C-alpha cells in the first residue's frame, strides 16, 4: 500500500443535489463514521485534492464548474459520483435543464448508488477510489519511465483538443516571461486549431508516450520555405530532448525544402539558445503584441 491509499484528500461538489447526499457525505466526517481515521481530509480546494466527490445531476449551471474543478485537480485524480442523480441523472434524468449524470461531462471512476447514498456506501466508494488512484499513480510512473519509448507521429484532427490543452499548459511559462496572458498561443480556440489541421500544406507532429501526447510541433511550406511554429512540450517532460527531436522529425518530413523559418519572443532566452544550438540564426525582428517583439530565425539546409 503506498502513501496514496493512506492519504486521500477529497473535494466535494454539489452539482444540483437535493442536499440529501451532501448531508450524508458530511455525516462521514462526524464521530460516528469518522473517515479521518483513514486519512481522509475534506479539503475544499481542488489543487490539494485527490478525489472529486460529486453529488447530484449535472445541470447547465454546474457544468462549467465541474469541468473547472476537474481540470484543477492535480494528477493522479479520481472522480466518485455519489448518489443515483450523480450516477445517471436519477429521477431528474429527463428534465429540460439536466444533461445527465456526471459522466456526461467528465470521466467517472466510481459510482456510489443510493438515494440518498448511505455513509457506509460513500466510504466504500472512497475506498474503491483509492484502488483506482493507486493504479493511475502506477501508470504515471510508467509514463515518466518510458520516455525513451516516445513515438513521433503525424497528428490528426482528432488530436486537436489534446494538443490545444497541451499548448495552453506549455505556454504558461511564456506568459510568465512577458507578464501577458493574451499570447496568441493561449488565445487560440479549438475551431481555429481544427482549421489549421484542414490546411493541405500543414504538417502536425506529436510526441506520444503510452498514448498520451506530451509534445507537438507544426509547420507549413510556402515558396520554398518551411514555417515552423508552436513547438510545445509538456512542462513535466521539458529538458529531456523531446523538443529537439520533434524539430528534427518535422525537418525530415519536409525533405525537399531548403530553408526553415521559426519565430519566438525577444525575451524567451531558453528558446533562442536551443534554436541556436540547432543551427537557427536571427535575421529579422518584428513588433508583435504590446509586450512582445518577434524574433525570426532561419536555417538553410545544404
Partner 1 sequence: MSSWLSLIIYLVAAPIVGGLLAGWDRRISARMQSRQGPPIFQPFYDVLKLVKKENVVVRRSQNYYIFFFLLLVIFTGGLFFAGADLLLVIFALTLAAIFFVLGAYKASSPYSFIGAERELIQMMAYEPMVLLTAIGMYMVTRSFAVGDIANHPTLLVAALPGVFLGFLYTLEIKFRKSPFDLSCSHHAHQELVRGITTEFSGRTLAMIEIAHWYENVFLLGWVYLFFGSMPGLGVAVALLVFVFVILVDNVFARLKWQAALKSAWLVTVVLGFGNILALAIFFPKPATPAAAKVQPVTPTQLAMPAVAANALNTVDAEPARRN
Interface residue list for partner 1 (CB under 8 A): 2-4, 6-7, 9, 29-31, 34, 36-39, 41-45, 47-48, 50, 72, 74-76, 137, 140, 172-173, 176, 235-236
Say if residue 107 is preceded by a cis peptide, omega within 30 of 0: no
Quickly list H helices, the chain.
3-6, 20-27, 60-72, 84-88, 119-145, 160-170, 172-178, 184-187, 190-198, 242-253, 269-277
Q: Which residues pair with 11 in a beta bridge?
A: 52
For residue 166, count other CB atoms closer than 10 A to its CB: 23
Task: Give the nearer residue to partner 1 in terms of CB position, either 64 or 75.
Answer: 75
Taking the complex as a whole, the smallest distance from the CB of residue 172 to partner 1 amounts, in Å, to 8
Taking the complex as a whole, the smallest distance from the CB of residue 44 to partner 1 amounts, in Å, to 3
Task: Give the phi and the psi of residue 176 in degrees, each rounded to 5.
Answer: -70, -40
Task: Give the nearer residue to partner 1 in terms of CB position, either 36 or 64.
Answer: 36
Task: Give the nearer residue to partner 1 in terms of CB position, either 7 or 151.
Answer: 7
Taking the complex as a whole, the smallest distance from the CB of residue 144 to partner 1 amounts, in Å, to 11
Task: Give the nearer residue to partner 1 in terms of CB position, either 44 or 241.
Answer: 44
Q: β-pairing, 41-42 with 9-14?
A: parallel
Task: Give the nearer residue to partner 1 in terms of CB position, either 236 or 283.
Answer: 236
Spatial CA neighbour of 87 closest among 12, 5, 17, 10: 17
Taking the complex as a whole, the smallest distance from the CB of residue 167 to partner 1 amounts, in Å, to 17
Amino acid at each position: 500500500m503506498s502513501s496514496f491509499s493512506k492519504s486521500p484528500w477529497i473535494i466535494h461538489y454539489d452539482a444540483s443535489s437535493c442536499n440529501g447526499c451532501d448531508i450524508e457525505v458530511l455525516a462521514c466526517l462526524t464521530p460516528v463514521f469518522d473517515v479521518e481515521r483513514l486519512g481522509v481530509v475534506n479539503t475544499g480546494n481542488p489543487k490539494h485534492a485527490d478525489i472529486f466527490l460529486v453529488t447530484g445531476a449535472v445541470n447547465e449551471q454546474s457544468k462549467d464548474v465541474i469541468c473547472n474543478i476537474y481540470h484543477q485537480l492535480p494528477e493522479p485524480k479520481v472522480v466518485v459520483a455519489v448518489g443515483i442523480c450523480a450516477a445517471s441523472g436519477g429521477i431528474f434524468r429527463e428534465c429540460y435543464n439536466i444533461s445527465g449524470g456526471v459522466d456526461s461531462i467528465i470521466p467517472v471512476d466510481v459510482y456510489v448508488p443510493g438515494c440518498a447514498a448511505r455513509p457506509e456506501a460513500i466510504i466504500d466508494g472512497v475506498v474503491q477510489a483509492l484502488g483506482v488512484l493507486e493504479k493511475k499513480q502506477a501508470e504515471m510512473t510508467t509514463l515518466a519511465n518510458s520516455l525513451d519509448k516516445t513515438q513521433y507521429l503525424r497528428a490528426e484532427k482528432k488530436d486537436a483538443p489534446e494538443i490545444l490543452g497541451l499548448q495552453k499548459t506549455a505556454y504558461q511559462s511564456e506568459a510568465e516571461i512577458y507578464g501577458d496572458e493574451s499570447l496568441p498561443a493561449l488565445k487560440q480556440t479549438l475551431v481555429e486549431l481544427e482549421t489549421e489541421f484542414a490546411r493541405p500544406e500543414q504538417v502536425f507532429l506529436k510526441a506520444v508516450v503510452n498514448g498520451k501526447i506530451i509534445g507537438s510541433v507544426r509547420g507549413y511550406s510556402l515558396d520554398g520555405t518551411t514555417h515552423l511554429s508552436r513547438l510545445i512540450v509538456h512542462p513535466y517532460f521539458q529538458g529531456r530532448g523531446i523538443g529537439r527531436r520533434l524539430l528534427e522529425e518535422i525537418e525530415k518530413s519536409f525533405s525537399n525544402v531548403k530553408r526553415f523559418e521559426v519565430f519566438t519572443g525577444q525575451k524567451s532566452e531558453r528558446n533562442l539558445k536551443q534554436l541556436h544550438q540547432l543551427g537557427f540564426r536571427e535575421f529579422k525582428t518584428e513588433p508583435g503584441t504590446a509586450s512582445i517583439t518577434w524574433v525570426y530565425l532561419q536555417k538553410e539546409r545544404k
